Amino acid sequence: MKTIGQRVVAVLAHDGIPERGRVKYLAKTCGFSTSTARRLLGDLAELKTQTLIRLSDGLQVSFEWLWDGRLTRFDLRTLRAHLIGLKGYPPEAAALMIRFMTACSTGHHRAENLLARIESGQLTLATAARLYAHATRG
């Protein structure tokens, strides 16, 4: 399981914040001192609920994902950071997966059929997303 600090770094990387500027950016964006921001990035800070709320609000990501790495609700920004920053998918593959998950959540028939195959273990999410993109090209 990735740590809170690793998830924060994934969001900052996703946003294109250079490594050298991350402490200052995190401090400014979330209202922390630079020493607190440095400890957060290094997983050295003791985290209180209020700190996590400030982090999730400042970074505009899901509180639940920041806390434990679970994607409990459909939040595009959090999902992009998770797929690209933590799972290592290229941005194009992440975009296909997000498009597929959006179709699933809106009840698109083709997407629901592919989702059933994912749930049965016949397909991975990445494969289903590629198949869905191919089947729905205009």
pLDDT tens-digit profile, the chain (138 residues): 488 888 899 899 888 999 999 999 999 999 999 999 998 888 877 788 888 899 999 999 988 888 888 877 767 788 888 888 888 899 899 888 888 888 887 778 888 888 888 888 898 888 989 898 888 875
* Boundaries of every domain in the chain: 4-71, 91-135
pTM for this model (two decimals)? 0.68
What kind of fold does domain 4-71 have according to CATH? 434 Repressor (Amino-terminal Domain) (1.10.260)
**What's the rounded Cα separation, in Å, for the pair 130 and 30?**
37
